[in-house]
Chains A and B, each alone.
Chain A
Amino acid sequence: MQHLDEGTIHSWLDGALSAEEAARVSAHVEECSQCAAAVAEARGFIAASSRILTALDNVPKGVVPIGARAKPRNWAAWRAAAAVVVVALGSFAVLRDRIGTQRSVSEVAPMSARNPASDVVADSVSSATAQNESSVTREAAAAKALAKPAAPARTANPLAFGKIENRGTQGRERASAPAVISPSPAVVADVRPQARADNATSQNFGAATMKVAAEPLGGHAAGAASIEGASGAMSDALAGPTSIRVVGTPRVIGEKRTLYEVAPGDTVVLAEAMRLELSSVVVTGVGATRTAQSMDTSAGRQIKLRGATSRPVAPDSQRSNAAPSPAAAPPASSTSLPSVQALNGITTLTWTDPASGNTMRLSGRHSAAELTEIRHKIEQLRAAEAAAKKKP
């Protein structure tokens, strides 16, 4: 038999020869060292070319500018958006019909056991509840939405009927917050609060009791969801943690970076320097106490409190020992004031996280005010995550 040609060897190694041909080649290779060497070489070529082709898949990442990725990839965001649309459209529809009525409709329609939209709303509202549990006097304001998606929420264009009553606030508000995460641009929830004398003292803390009920097309009873939440405003609860999600954690030495998507295709970067800040070293007493406190208080509350009027107060024993000087307090509070830097259209917000003492940098193509808002949301999200981690 003649020596094998390269094409035949490759065909043989690729299993493309008939059984007879393969047997003949195999027999020849065992006898002929020259062809055995050629087979070895061919194996090498096959493996190497395969490896080279695989290298083609390493399309470089991280060269796309922030915000340029237009494709939303997380259905949770869309589900949340769908839920917001449900509530907003519902409230709009009903309020237009029934201005001034005080009837509390509580038709709770059965919903499918796994209605993603309701799940997301439930998640966001309950996490908001956790954060606000011990916050303020609440007045029961109600947002009741009865939603009936025409299809699964992901693709749905849900028809919704709902009712929102917000007692205790005065005047007329236009809550456009849902539009922030809504895929359709013009969703405006019209909230017409009914000012009542007996509720006039309740300030602006419109707690939200929400009942979201959805009925699948078939109308089979499978469950019902009743969500009771308390938060600053309904829109806050909805546009809160769910509107932000982590889309990546690029690894950088000495820093923990997290990419958050605040809206589809719109991302910001949160960089957390993993080292102690000078301020928390200098202000030993207060710094230590604050850190210790943040360990045992719920992270959510800690962040809620930070920057507000209430500052964690050291227990008496510690205060007298560690921080006798009143001058120690101002630097501690100044750490929570963010500094703003703008470069090439990217704004960077820098502050010190009082809980960890780490320097936080938040950057994105946003205004400082928007970033502050985003920072607030990220902190809520982180707090919720931290709280979730703590609970087994």
Chain B
Amino acid sequence: MTDVERLFRTYNAALVRYLTRRLGDRDWAEEVAQETFVRALRQTSIQNERAWLFAVATNLVRDEARKDMRRRKHLALLAEEERDAMVEPEETTLERAQEAAMARKAVDALAERDRLALLMREEGLDYNEIAEALELSPGSVGTTLSRARRRLVESYEVLQKSQEEREKNAAS
């Protein structure tokens, strides 16, 4: 197994989830993730793999990536394999779709840095990795995360309340 394959198998799922949550689009997320691994191929050595991958993926989202078709195909094959092994999520109910829409809104309302730090933390990156990926000082990650979490939950609750109001009005 080449090194990039190992990287892929280790980090692809988390990276794609991070990017999907970030972008709200699974296909786009997979594209960016693959581009990230293509970039990794060109690196001679990476110190902290996870931080590096998340940082590159984050930057790629900012500036649309150039594409490397040949390598992408191979990675697409690996992704295909992985997806075959994954269990399909349950059927989305209306309620869950509403939850997802509200979550999307709440996440989009966050400041970019807060959002990215939070999404990376959710994928298991530690404070040092987040600091490295986002070019923050390690000491400020806790503050960033606490702010992000509070704001996310608060704005979600606001959305939830207004949703309930709407349902009440619709019922009466």
Instruction: Give A residues with C-beta under 8 Å from B.
Output: 5-11, 14, 16, 42, 44-46, 48-50, 52-53, 55-62, 71, 73-75, 155, 248, 250-251
Contact = CB atoms under 8 A, between A and B. Distances in A.
A261 B8 CA distance: 29
Contacts of B121: 14
A49 B96 contact: no
Nearest to B140: A7
Interface of B: 17, 20-21, 24, 26, 77, 80, 83-84, 88-89, 91-92, 96-97, 99-100, 102-104, 106-107, 118-119, 121-122, 126-127, 140-150, 152-153, 156
Given A16-B142, A46-B149, A250-B91, A55 B96 contact: yes
A61 B92 contact: yes
B172 to A, nearest CB: 28
Nearest to B156: A52
B97 A58 contact: yes
A155 B73 CA distance: 12
B122 A8 contact: no
- Among B17, B89, B91, B153, residue most surrounded by chain A Cβ atoms (within 10 Å): B153
A50 B141 CA distance: 17
Contacts of A45: 146, 149-150, 153
B152 A11 contact: no
Contacts of B26: 59
Closest 3 CB pairs of A and B: A7-B143, A11-B142, A7-B142
B67 to A, nearest CB: 18
B84 A56 contact: no
B106 A52 contact: yes
Given A10-B142, A53-B122, A73 B83 contact: yes
Contacts of A248: 88
Contacts of B122: 50, 53
A151 to B, nearest CB: 13
Given A9-B146, A75-B84, A52 B103 contact: yes
Contacts of B143: 5-7, 10
Contacts of A11: 127, 141-142, 145
B146 A56 contact: no
Contacts of A16: 126-127, 141-142
Given A14-B121, A16-B127, A48-B156, A59 B80 contact: no
Contact of A6 (B17, B100, B104, B150): B150
A10 B149 contact: yes
A52 B144 CA distance: 18
B153 A52 contact: yes
Nearest to A61: B92
A387 B5 CA distance: 42
Given A11-B127, A49-B149, A50-B122, A57 B142 contact: no
Contacts of A61: 89, 91-92
Given A16-B127, A42-B146, A59-B100, A53 B153 contact: no
A76 to B, nearest CB: 10
B84 A62 contact: no
Given A52-B107, A56-B24, 10 more contacts: A10-B146, A14-B145, A42-B146, A45-B149, A53-B21, A57-B17, A59-B24, A59-B26, A59-B92, A62-B92
Contacts of B142: 7-11, 14, 16
Nearest to B103: A55
B84 A58 contact: no
Nearest to B128: A16
A276 to B, nearest CB: 27
Contacts of B24: 56, 59
B141 to A, nearest CB: 7
A77 B103 CA distance: 37
- Among A48, A50, A52, residue most surrounded by chain B Cβ atoms (within 10 Å): A52
A75 B148 CA distance: 42
B153 A58 contact: no
A44 B140 CA distance: 21
Contacts of B149: 10, 42, 45-46, 48-49
